[in-house]
Structure 1
Amino acid sequence: MKRLDGKTILIAGSGGIGAGLAQRCAAEGANVVLGDIDIAGVEAVAAGIRTDGGSIVATRLDGAEESSVGEAVALAVSTFGGLDGLHVNFASLSGNSEDGLLDMTMDEIDASLRVNLRGYVLCTRAALPPMIQRGGGSIVYTSSGSAYVAEPVRVAYAMAKSGGHALMRHVASRYGVDGIRANSIAPGVIVHDRFPAEIRAAMEEMTIEATFVKSRVGRPEDIAAAGAYLLSDDAGYVTGQVISVDGGRTVRA
């Protein structure tokens, strides 16, 4: 399928999931701009996509820096003539993942919110004007089940993801009149090759025990499939939603 044929998509944040997003969007015909602070990793992903015939530009993008985000958006517009979609995918898990609120320093909390919430705001503010000028488009945010499942740890991360849902719904309701759709994907545990083998095996065992899908664990391709759908015109009547891709780990009305 070429559901994204001719569209220009900025993917902010690479890694395991981001690489899958870029590969799927390019395979669906999009012109992709892939950005991450790990420029070597981004260039490696881009090289593979070009080998497969895809259209992609790699760039360094620090999602927590306003100037860096603006430069990535400007690159998409100058290279491909406009911007049709944005998938904000980066995250920071700074600090000890086992700490509670009283165990964390304010510097750790601020660092998490700076990337995981403020960074999403910066990307949205930069991308909206060229998308509105283009006549509309789709913004997708990578969220987490932490946004709505009570957890005794990672409080700053969970707070940021909950705030991200509020941001998404604001964009969907405020800028729908401008042709903008906004949705979030909440992945479950997604296993990919960047994890060491022993950690990956433990994650797979834990995930299969906790989910309804028992035949396998989640992979970057699962998030990429949902992302490509939400960025495409096939999802033209879908906005303001959080879609969980987690094998049934969370069940919500």
Structure 2
Amino acid sequence: MRGLRGKRIIIAGGATGIGAATAERLAEEGASVMVGDINVAGAESTVKRITEAGGNAIAAEFDLGNENSIQELVAATVTEFGGVDGLYNVGADLSEPTLGRDTDLLAMDPAVWRRTHEVNLLGYALTCRSVLPYLLDQGGGAIVNTSSNAAWIGEPERPAYAASKAGINALTRHIASRWGKEGIRCNAVAPGLVLGDKPQGDYVPPAYLQVTRSPRPGEPADLAATVAFLLSGDAAWVSGQVWSVCGGMSLRD
């Protein structure tokens, strides 16, 4: 892909799964990658694979639910790489105590909603806010956020998760609209069921296993390829979009 070599990109949630695969793909394309994650051992494993393959990457401990941690991740990227050109937000709280207890509205626990939105939505807003001044100062850059098909399919459960992802879609469009004329592109990807990206404790609705129109479930590399494209120069005229990367699980205009 054109326009990735030499770019400095933050992966906010790169220890495993889609985030790790994207970090590796970007490094293969010649980008320098800051791999941030609360799972620092996982982030270090991702970086080890990248560096052993000849790429350039650094691992950093990072908590998407903590504003100071977010600011430190961006500052570390600027210090280590001399600047930042792009951001991929992929982290989320998918744990059993949070996503696993995200039931219907009558059975809701407000603490689940608060935690979900603090990490999944507010965390993304804060990472974008922290990166934007650097992108604006250099005349532009690219941001990709991770949404979900859950934002529009209307599940009978997981309303907090779905609402957080719908908020990410709105956040993405806001950034693209507000700063597009200043060279900022912002898009989102909405994965379907991606196997190999499910840490222990994640909850996957059984119906998800039935509705994909692809002959196989997704793999982290499927999303990595799309995210790499959206961060690259080849996607210079793509902004404000939420792309379903789901094997046909969701069909929409």
Q: TM-score range by the shorter chain?
A: over 0.9
Q: Deviations over 1:39-94 (max 9, x none)?
A: 01100111111000010010011011111111111111111111110000001131
Q: 1:154-193, aligned counterparts within 5 Å?
A: 154-192=158-196
Specify the alignment match of 1:232 in structure 2: 232
Task: Please say if residues 141 and 183 of structure 2, whose CA atoms lie closer than 8 Å, have aligned partners that are also in contact.
Answer: yes
Matched, 1:5 2:9: no
Report the Cα distance in structure 2 between the residues aligned to 1:96 and 1:11, rounded to whole angstroms.
Answer: 25
TM-score, normalization by structure 2: 0.92
Code of the aligned partner of 1:70? Q
Code of the aligned partner of 1:239? S
Structure 2, unmatched stretches of 5+, are none
Specify the alignment match of 1:92 in structure 2: 93
Aligned-partner SS, 1:86: strand
Shift of 1:101: 1.3
Aligned-partner SS, 1:96: helix
Q: Return 59-68 or 99-108, whichever deviates more.
A: 99-108
Report the Cα distance in structure 1 between the residues aligned to 2:197 and 2:83, rounded to whole angstroms.
Answer: 33
Report the Cα distance in structure 1 between the residues aligned to 2:113 and 2:177, rounded to whole angstroms.
Answer: 29
Shift of 1:113: 0.7
Report the Cα distance in structure 1 between the residues aligned to 2:119 and 2:208, rounded to whole angstroms.
Answer: 28
**CA-atom RMSD in angstroms:** 1.9
Aligned-partner SS, 1:161: helix
Task: Please say if residues 18 and 197 of structure 2, whose CA atoms lie closer than 8 Å, have aligned partners that are also in contact.
Answer: no
Q: 1:42-121, aligned counterparts within 5 Å?
A: 42-93=43-94, 94-97=98-101, 99-121=103-125
Structure 1, unmatched stretches of 5+, are none
Shift of 1:96: 3.0
Shift of 1:195: 5.4
What percent of counterpart residues are identical? Answer: 45
Specify the alignment match of 1:27 in structure 2: 28
Moved over 6 A (4+): none
Shift of 1:140: 0.1
Code of the aligned partner of 2:108? M
Shift of 1:152: 1.0
